[in-house]
Structure 1
Amino acid sequence: MRIRHLLALVFLILSATSGLAQMDGHGPDAWQVRGVAANDNLNVRAGPGTKYMVIGAFAHDATGLKMITCVPFLTQEHYYALTDTQRASLPARWCLVEGRDQKTKGWVSAQFLGEDVSRLQPEMDPLVSDAVALVRHVYDLQLNASSGSALGPLHPSVARNYFFADVVARLAQGNVGADPLFNAQDTQISDLKVFAPDERAMFRGLITVHATFKNFGRPQLVVFHLRVDGSLADPALRIMQIEHENWVFP
């Protein structure tokens, strides 16, 4: 019942912005680099692919990036009209991006781009911001995996990078049923947004992150609970629970 009430409230607040994004197809106003090691940079190339020369670089944590276009170019309607086989055969996606300073501009691999959450909540606690980025990264990986082109974050061999050990153990048992991220076995996802709630995003070390999206046009809300996992050699945020309207995982 609590999820149902949250869902109604969240989609009432987001209806204006999500409707616009759905019509114009541009997505977020700004993008950030993610998935790049702290001691590395994201190469900027003269064209959409590794065969083109490197003409610059973005820092591993660069924010405020402006996306100009991407190839292959597909609208939501085009993408969802494709079969799974056609999606899997699509070439890797590259985007023409301009830096915040408007000096660095070129093509980068889309797998290293995500919504700029620092602009959405500039005063967000750094730990909360990291939690939002982690959940968004998990969704990005899962969407890529759905096309068969990558290993998803729910696979037991990599899940420990994102989840607590007991969650990984449950995933390893199998027979999870519905996808814990999308609460469904079949998906057609649109309007995905990941954000921290306005109130009590962090309370006594527990961080809450919300994800909203539409699956086959039906609004969904997923609530993630995260903590710093002190059992790791290098303590870091991990997801400990995923809450849906009528069930909780694990």
Structure 2
Amino acid sequence: MSEARVNHPGLIVPVGHVEPVPRRIRGTVDGRTVLDTRNALYVWEWPGYPQYSIPLRDVAEGALTDEGRTGKLSPGPARRHALHAGSQVREAAAWVWEEGAPERLLGTARFRWDAIDAWYEEDEQVFVHPRSPYTRVDALRSSSGVRVEVDGVVLADAPHAVLLFETGLPTRYYVERPYVDWTVLEPADTVTACPYKGTTTGYWSFTSRTATHADIAWSYDFPTPQVASIAGMVAFYNEQVDLSVDGAFVPRPVPVSRDAWQRAHER
């Protein structure tokens, strides 16, 4: 097994970084528009991607009510608010920034993503989280051979692949399905989504003699147009497999941790 290491460029945006959003941002709850602004801000609560912070003047009148709780988010202190839209009440839906947070955030609110039914940039719906203006995703065809093994069992052996490069994440190697050994993989019900690639249409697990490796591979049958070349292909988590490219082993990458960011949003 190869030693884990970082073999891709790291994230460069510091926590607490704030930038203007040059797009109209709207949010709806139960079909009602609860926020509509051309003056949103990006705020990074972890280096991976930003959240929107919305000027309070661009939130529907009376939509936010103070819940009487102040918390310390990564960029600074904020006061928790509930969101009201018609008969809908979403508790812990927004944090209104207080003194001690970056000055540009004062007078704005960062909404919990799932407290809003649908987010829009201009007239296009945005899924999972805001797209980072500093993230680039490239899918490049490669004539390099890719071999994937786990516990000595070959899961895939392909003469070529599509390599997907995404800012701050390990390179992913997508191979065509005829080069995957489907006799050793088990379908899983898992579905994940990515604002840059779309929604997965398949996940697979592998059980070796010693362990079960859940959700070790995935596929996008209908990816976004920007990465259309990975459609129908299969990728494996480099962090969980022994992968070689043109016969040379690729060290397992160190996973990007989101634990701290997730804990902050579960409060």
Q: Report the TM-score when normalising by structure 2.
A: 0.25
Q: Report the TM-score when normalising by structure 1.
A: 0.27
**Greater Rg, structure 1 or structure 2?**
2
Flag the structure with higher strand content. Answer: 2
